[in-house]
Amino acid sequence: MRFLLFSGLLVFAGCKVTAPQAPALDVPEIWTEGVASTSDDVEGENLNAKVSPWWTRCQDPLLEALIHEAMVSGPDLHIAAARVKEADLRWQATSAGFGPSLDFSRSLRREDQSSQSFNFGDDAIPGFPTDQIFKVRTVSRHEIRGRWEADLIGRNDLRTMSALANIDLAQAAYEDAVLLLSTRICDTLADLRESMQQLAITASTIRRNERSLELVEARFDVGLGNELELAQARRTLAEARAQLPQAEIGPRAACDALAALLGKHPGTMLHLLDPEMVVPPTPEGVLTIQPSDLLTQRPDLRRLSAEMQQAAANAGLAEAATQPTFGLEAALGTESNGAEISLSRTAALWNVILTGATPLFDGGRRKLESKAAGAVFEAAVEQHRQGVLNALAEVERTSRQLQATQDTLQYLDEAVAQAVIVREQSETRFTEGISSLDPVLDAEQALDPLQRQLATTRTNAWRQLSALVRSTGGSAGFRPFDSE
C-alpha cells in the first residue's frame, strides 16, 4: 500500500503543469534607410541616453523645473506609485501563502446528560421528574490546527509568475505615466511659448502698422499722399488689431493646462507669462537604440509583455485546476469540562490527516475554463505583437517628421531674416519718398505670416521631439540644433 501511494505521488509529480510559451517575435535588426542615418555620426559622443532622464538633456531649465515639480505633486504619478506598492505587497502575500498555516480556535458547548425520562402522565408535577430537573455540563475545546498543500503540480510557480508579472505591469505603468506626463508638459510648454510669441508678433505688427499710418498721415498732411494710401494703412492696422483679443487668450489657456498637469488650480501658473518668451530651437533628436531595444525601453511594450505573462500564468492555473490536489493537516488541542482549561480535567487531542482530491465530474466546466484561458493568452500574444509593430512604425514616422521639420526650420530662419530686411528697406524708401506705400504693405503682409509660421514650426518641432521620446521610451539622444 505504501509503495502504491509513493508511486502515485511520483506519477503526479511528473505531471507538472507549466505556462504556455509565447512564440519569438520577428524584429528587424536595423531601421530602414534614412531613418537613423545620423546614428553613425554620434558614435563616440556622450549622449547619456540611458543614464539621465530625457528632459535633462534638452538644455531647457524651465522644462526641467516644471517636470521635477510635476514628479512631486502630479496626481497621476501618485496613483501609479501606489499601484506599484500594491503589486509588491500582493506578491509578498502570494509567497507567504506557499508555506504551512496555523490557526487557533476555541469552542464551548453545553451538553444535557440527564438519564431520566419525563412522565407527562404524572398529575403532581406535569412534565418534570420528581427528584431532579437536568444534568448539564460545559465542554470547552482549544485547538491549534496546521494546514499545508503539497505543490506537486506546479501551482505555486504559476502563482509566483502571475504575481511577478503584476509587479512588472505596475512598474511599467508607472514609467509610462512618467513618460506621458513629461512629454505632455513639453508639449504644453511649447504651446505656451508659441502663444506668447504669437501675441508678441501681433503686438509688433500693430506697432509697425501704427508707425506706417503715422507716416502716411504725415505725408497726406503735406500733400504728398493720397486717400487710397491712407485707407490702406488704416485697414491694415485694423486687421492687426482684430487679431489681438484671440491672441491674448492662448497664453492663459496654456498656463491653466500646465497647472492641471502639475496638480494645481487654474491661475496658479500665470507667473510664467513673460512678454520676452520665445520658442527656442529644439535639440536634434538622434536614434541611439536599435529596433530590438524597444522591447525593453518602451514602457507600453513592457506592459503588454507583462499582461501576456499574466495570461500565460492564468492559463497554467486553469489547467492545474483540472489536476488533483494533495495536502496535510495536523491538529493539537485539549478538551475539558468547564469553560477554563484545568489540567486535572483535560484530555489531549491530536490528529494527522493526509488529504487528496481529484475532479470527477463538473460537466466539463474546468476544461472549458482552461481552453478559455488559453484563448486569452493567444489574444495577449497577438496584442503584444501588434504593439511591437505599431512601435516600430511610430519610431520611423516620428524620426522622419522631426528631421523634415528641422530641415524646414533652417529655410524658414533665412526667409524671416530676408523678409525683415525687405520690410525695413521698403519703409526707408517710402519715408524718403522714393516709392509708394504698396511695397511697405506687401512686405508687411509677407513678414507677418512668415514669423507666425516660424513660431508654429518650432512648436511642431518640440512636439515631434517629444513624440520621438515617447516612441523610443525616453531613450532618444540629443545634440544641439543650430538655428537662429
| pLDDT mean over 216-244 | 83
Q: Per-residue pLDDT for 55 more than 50?
A: yes
**Most confident stretch, 131-145, 237-251, 325-339:** 237-251
Q: Check: CB of residue 323 under 8 Å from CB of residue 153.
A: yes
pLDDT above 90 coverage of the chain, percent: 27
Task: Give 1's pLDDT tier (boundaries 50, 70, 90).
Answer: very low
Please, where are the H alpha helices in 49-106?
61-73, 75-96
- Between CA 199 and CA 459 the distance in angstroms is 15
Q: Per-residue pLDDT for 196 more than 80?
A: yes
Which residue type is seen at 287?
L
Q: How many CB atoms lie within 10 A of CB 140?
A: 19
- Between CA 247 and CA 243 the distance in angstroms is 6
H or E stretch at 103: strand 101-112
Task: Give 10's pLDDT tier (boundaries 50, 70, 90).
Answer: very low
DSSP string, 327-361: EEEEEEEEEEESSS--GGGEEEEEEEEEEEE----
Per-residue model confidence as pLDDT tens digits over 24-52: 888 888 888 667 644 444 444 444 445 67
3-state secondary structure of 452: helix
Q: What was the pLDDT predicted at 301? A: 93
**Most confident stretch, 143-157, 194-208, 380-394:** 380-394
Q: What was the pLDDT predicted at 183? A: 93
DSSP string, 212-236: HHHHHHHHHHTTSS-HHHHHHHHHH
- Between CA 466 and CA 472 the distance in angstroms is 10
Q: What was the pLDDT predicted at 254? A: 93
pLDDT above 70 coverage of the chain, percent: 83
Q: What was the pLDDT predicted at 54? A: 87
H or E stretch at 53: none
- Between CA 133 and CA 41 the distance in angstroms is 105
Q: What was the pLDDT predicted at 339? A: 53
Q: What was the pLDDT predicted at 368? A: 92
Which residue type is seen at 383?
Q
14: which residues sit within 8 A by CB, 6+ positions away? none
Task: Give 8's pLDDT tier (boundaries 50, 70, 90).
Answer: low
Per-residue model confidence as pLDDT tens digits over 267-276: 899 998 888 8
113 φ/ψ angles, rounded to the nearest 5 degrees: -115, 20
Beta-strand pair 101-112/136-150: antiparallel
Nearest to 403 by CA among 140, 31, 90, 127: 31
| pLDDT mean over 185-206 | 91
User: 150 or 454, which is more confident?
Assistant: 454
Per-residue model confidence as pLDDT tens digits over 101-120: 888 888 877 766 555 555 55
Calculate the average pLDDT of the chain.
Answer: 81
| pLDDT mean over 321-342 | 76
Per-residue model confidence as pLDDT tens digits over 57-106: 888 899 999 999 998 888 888 898 999 999 999 889 888 888 888 888 88
Q: How many CB atoms lie within 10 A of CB 167?
A: 16
Task: Give 3's pLDDT tier (boundaries 50, 70, 90).
Answer: very low
Q: What was the pLDDT predicted at 36? A: 61
H or E stretch at 407: helix 365-431
Cell of 242: 482684430
